[in-house]
Structure 1
Amino acid sequence: MMTNKPWIAQIGTSLKYLVWILIGLLFSLIISKAEIIGIGLIFMLIPIAIVCYFIYKYPILSLYLAFFISFPANGLTRYAPVPFGLLIDALLFGGVLLSLGKSTEEQRKSLKNVPIYFFLAWFGYTTLQLINPEAASKAAWFYAIRGTSFNFLFIMVIAFIYVKDKKHLNVFLYTWLAWSILAAIWGIKQKFVGLDGAENAWLAAGNASTHVLHGKLRVFSFYSDAGQFGAAMAHGALVFGIIAIGPGSLQRKLIFGIGALLCLYGMAISGTRGALFVPAGGGMIYLIVNKNFKLLILGAIVGASVFGILKYTYIGQGNYEIQRLRSALDPEDASLNVRKENQKILSRYLASRPLGGGIGSSGYFGLRFSPNTFLAQTPTDSWFVRIWAETGIVGLYLHIASLLGVILVGFWRIFSMKDPELRNTMGAFLAGFTGIALASYGNSILGQFPTIMACMISVVMIWKGELWDK
């Protein structure tokens, strides 16, 4: 029986040849116009096309790649003016679209959980901030919304859909560990060997005022600044330290133990005082959720001893790093008093603005898009103060409720786990998330890369951990 299939096949073959001819013409045009640069551009396009193909086929790669890039992204901009932040945002946005479009109904059922509900509400509220009558710039909303809200939800959506078994847990953990160790080593190099040309140029561009205090460098490694580096190191020290002292093989304990010690030293040389609250607050959460009340008592004694030494003695006062940590507990600290005064000023301004001044109205984006406004000129310093300034008291309560909801429900899920190694690891994740949330009161930490990636993937792992335990 005769059919038209040969004609259809012939048309399909002709179209393939036409596509290849068009690609060849395009490449020829690029080379003729840009010459050597054009050849380089073509060689760049080929691997980019390959990466895009695999991301399309396996959307979880968008999350892995974004997580991997998020560690050196800020530091790399000191060497090349490449918008790595936008690249990460594009990976997450594309990953969400692919995840929702290609996943099965069964996979999408995993999105019905407490963290998604809370951060979906936060997503909705911050999206409506686009029409906030107090907002001075719509462009500022577009740039600031990603770190304020969108990325929280995007990271979790991709991870909840595609994280299935413990191999994903190990990829996450060892990627985090490897980059944290590299960051600590690079920070140690900055302290004892010195900075390179790009890092010195970054300091000279106006960052020396906050990173060279009394002639001492606040180490920043390849992170955005010393504050983010210190908090990330404290986060890693807490999580890796808990895993090292928990159940597991000797090799695993040694690897994570070394990582924890390096991160702890990285935290110290960053000079970031607020980072002290990551292990302090998060460690207490872990001791409770671990169900080991002897360890809880021992941890409380050790914590109280460290607090007492820093607060009521001068032990180690000759060491600059200890001086910086000790100043975090001084209620008369000049920096702390300036922050309190700024918060009083903001309180008066926001009293009649329950929805805040609009996303992106304060801090860096405020100075960039609406530099002459009140919020742009008033330092916020803290993540929560920034949320309060931009989204008002309504937004602040909603955001805190989201974080507390995840912590409390996560605590209950871990507390009921039977597998001791799994419960220990998930307890480490919850402790780290809680510690970062607490430390964000003193610094604008939570929404920055790579901390936001580590925190939100940790939340997903906690929810998946209960299923693995069963």
Structure 2
Amino acid sequence: MLTFIKNITKLILPKIFVYAGLLIFIVIFYKATMQRGCNFGYIIVSMPFVAVGLYLLLKNPLWSFIILFICNYFIMGITRYITLPVPISVFMDSVISFIFLALILKTIHTRIEWKRVLNPLTLIIFIWLIFCIIELLNPKLISFADWFTKVRSIAFYPIILIVLVSVLLNKYKHIKLILLMWSVLTLLAALKGYWQKNHGFDSAELIWLYNGGAKTHFISTGIRYFSFFSDAGNYGSNMGFSLVVFSIAAFYIKNKWLKIYFLIVALAGGYGMVISGTRGALAVPFAGYAIFILLSKKWEFAFYSLFILVSAICFLNFTTIGNNNQTIKRMRSGLDTNDASLNVRLENQKKLKEYLKDLPFGAGIGFGNTPDINSPDYEFSGIPSDSWLVRVWIQTGVVGLSLYIILLSAGIISGGYIILFKIKDKELGGVLAALLAGVVGMTASASGNEILGQYPTCYLYFICFAIVFMGKYYDKELEEHEQLT
């Protein structure tokens, strides 16, 4: 009899708690709705789902990283339609902090290979971070707040992303997952650009254009389309990034359907790059394919690739074919040394050179954030840099710019060495070569656009860079898998 009562209790008690909980929840929802309105009631209803979602994300840091990856891509476009309760940088910092919290909690019951973080790229970016911290001693620095606002994109985000990639993307299948997500986002970005070009801008985009965006997007050579990115320059370079990565990866991926799909994504990326009207974006495929020629180790393929590359440059630089097409004309102006826009940039750089001649460590990180009209530097703080490398030069001087270029070059050379001499698996080697080619292309484009400090490019750039340095772990994994099968 006692056993029977125990069994009944085990069956009934859980149901009693469930029904009681539901009843309490319904009462709370009813009272909240009646007293505070429907919106407050909806918040109450969503709380259990939010709690479950946060629990799952804490339990699986990789899912949190995927959300960060997606948010990074859409965050600038979303702000045209809704006002976030906090600044964009604070929102993204919160997501990153959440991922680190999830990692710390995961270490309690799972072994995490933190040793993967110790690689040449981490050391390179750490050296740059130390230099940026030393910049706090720069006598031209206005305030710690200005320094911190800018140093996040310059130094903190890169090293944080390298750590996250090294720890979370620990399987080759994770790299394929990142590529698949990126491919979908690229197609959406290209589709949005196509819609803007053929169906016009929506009300939120028109407001953004009216409030100043039109000055740089409605120009004499035509309209520059920007999709859901911050501007056309960011959009064009990012689409060029996708063009390079997916066109190269398509030749190495073994799966036939994935190969075809990646080629379609590459074409979509090329389309987005062209309609953006961004001349600086041309540097991405030119530099990216050039470095891939060196990494391919297939000299016949390299010869044909070099021939196509040189032919494209000659077509744009030495002919007038297609000048009646605004897109081709705009791209051609990127190689024209007499272009008016280019000359304005060069004049601005002459003024900055004169200002910085006695400032080897620059005007301080954060220069231009809060210009003081009474400051003797006021007229220089308003000069547009028009380039990420020029921005680094202004804020850290010739010393900082030289160090920055040396460190990035060292990272690219180290990544190339890994691909050429350390990777045995052909598919993996091709994917890593595609990512590094994209990184090189974006580095070249940074000389003409402020892209490495903007979402989503700043994150995507260092995620791809970090994956290259994880190559030896993926190669070992694939080798062990091959031996088992």
- TM-score calculated relative to the size of structure 1: 0.89
Is 1:449–2:449 an aligned residue pair?
Answer: no
Of 75, 94, 99, which aligns to 1:90?
A: 94
Residue 400 of structure 1: how far off its partner (Å): 1.6
Q: Which amino acid aligns with 1:412?
A: Y
1:58 match: 60
Consecutive unaligned residues of structure 2, counting only runs of 5 or more, are: 1-24, 477-485
Q: Which amino acid aligns with 1:239?
A: V
1:99 match: 103
Of 409, 414, 431, which aligns to 1:409?
A: 414
Residue 161 of structure 1: how far off its partner (Å): 1.4
| Residues 328-339 of structure 1: pairs in structure 2 closer than 5 A | 328-339=334-345
1:74 match: 76
CA deviation vs aligned residue, 1:106-148 (integer Å, no higher than 9, x gap): 6111111111111112222223434433122333223222222
Residue 226 of structure 1: how far off its partner (Å): 0.2
CA deviation vs aligned residue, 1:38-97 (integer Å, no higher than 9, x gap): 224434554443343233323333321111111111011000011444322221234245
Distance 1:199 1:166, change over 3 A: same
Contact 2:240 2:281 in 1 (8 A): yes
| Residues 22-37 of structure 1: pairs in structure 2 closer than 5 A | 34-37=36-39
Contact 1:410 1:463 in 2 (8 A): yes
Q: Which amino acid aligns with 2:71?
A: I
Q: Pick which of 262-271 and 449-458 moved more.
A: 449-458
Is 1:425–2:427 an aligned residue pair?
Answer: no
Where 2:470 maps in the other structure, the secondary structure is: helix
Distance (whole Å) between structure 1 residues aligned to residue 141 and residue 32 of structure 2: 43
Residue 414 of structure 1: how far off its partner (Å): 0.3
Of 231, 240, 244, which aligns to 1:238?
A: 244
Distance (whole Å) between structure 1 residues aligned to residue 389 and residue 184 of structure 2: 30
Contact 1:370 1:376 in 2 (8 A): no
Where 1:79 maps in the other structure, the secondary structure is: coil
Where 1:156 maps in the other structure, the secondary structure is: helix
Q: Pick which of 244-253 and 216-225 moved more.
A: 244-253
Q: Pick which of 385-394 and 234-243 moved more.
A: 385-394
| Residues 288-299 of structure 1: pairs in structure 2 closer than 5 A | 288-299=294-305
Is 1:49–2:51 an aligned residue pair?
Answer: yes
Q: Pick which of 177-186 and 451-460 moved more.
A: 451-460
Distance (whole Å) between structure 2 residues aligned to residue 443 and residue 353 of structure 1: 23
Of 378, 385, 390, which aligns to 1:385?
A: 390
Distance 1:51 1:373, change over 3 A: farther
Residue 277 of structure 1: how far off its partner (Å): 0.6
Of 453, 459, 468, which aligns to 1:462?
A: 468
Consecutive unaligned residues of structure 1, counting only runs of 5 or more, are: 1-22
Distance 1:276 1:38, change over 3 A: same
2:479 match: none
Residue 401 of structure 1: how far off its partner (Å): 2.2
Contact 2:147 2:364 in 1 (8 A): yes
Residue 154 of structure 1: how far off its partner (Å): 0.8
Where 1:314 maps in the other structure, the secondary structure is: coil
Contact 1:63 1:155 in 2 (8 A): no
Contact 2:221 2:329 in 1 (8 A): no
The structure number with the bigger radius of gyration is 2
Distance 1:35 1:276, change over 3 A: same
1:203 match: 209
Distance 1:337 1:101, change over 3 A: farther
2:8 match: none
Distance 1:159 1:314, change over 3 A: same
Residue 366 of structure 1: how far off its partner (Å): 4.5
2:283 match: 277
Count of aligned residue pairs for this structure pair? 452
Q: What RMSD over aligned residues (CA atoms) do the two structures have, in Å?
A: 2.9
Distance (whole Å) between structure 2 residues aligned to residue 151 and residue 30 of structure 1: 41
Of 351, 359, 370, which aligns to 2:357?
A: 351
Residue 443 of structure 1: how far off its partner (Å): 0.4
| Residues 303-318 of structure 1: pairs in structure 2 closer than 5 A | 303-318=309-324
Identity %: 35
Residue 99 of structure 1: how far off its partner (Å): 3.5
Q: Pick which of 165-174 and 84-93 moved more.
A: 84-93
Distance 1:225 1:38, change over 3 A: same
Contact 2:372 2:378 in 1 (8 A): no
Contact 2:162 2:462 in 1 (8 A): yes
CA deviation vs aligned residue, 1:198-256 (integer Å, no higher than 9, x gap): 00010000110100112722000000000000001000011111112334222011100
Of 122, 126, 138, which aligns to 2:144?
A: 138
Q: Pick which of 87-96 and 273-282 moved more.
A: 87-96
Residue 387 of structure 1: how far off its partner (Å): 0.7
Distance (whole Å) between structure 2 residues aligned to residue 126 and residue 25 of structure 1: 55
1:9 match: none
Where 2:453 maps in the other structure, the secondary structure is: coil
Distance 1:106 1:50, change over 3 A: closer
Residue 314 of structure 1: how far off its partner (Å): 0.8
Of 27, 38, 41, which aligns to 1:39?
A: 41
Distance (whole Å) between structure 1 residues aligned to residue 51 and residue 90 of structure 2: 18
Distance (whole Å) between structure 2 residues aligned to residue 61 and residue 125 of structure 1: 33
Is 1:440–2:446 an aligned residue pair?
Answer: yes
Contact 2:112 2:167 in 1 (8 A): no
Distance (whole Å) between structure 2 residues aligned to residue 96 and residue 438 of structure 1: 32
Distance (whole Å) between structure 2 residues aligned to residue 261 and residue 57 of structure 1: 38
Residue 33 of structure 1: how far off its partner (Å): 7.6
Of 392, 395, 404, which aligns to 2:400?
A: 395
Contact 1:361 1:375 in 2 (8 A): no
Q: Which amino acid aligns with 2:70?
A: F
Distance (whole Å) between structure 2 residues aligned to residue 36 and residue 323 of structure 1: 55
Distance (whole Å) between structure 1 residues aligned to residue 185 and residue 371 of structure 2: 32
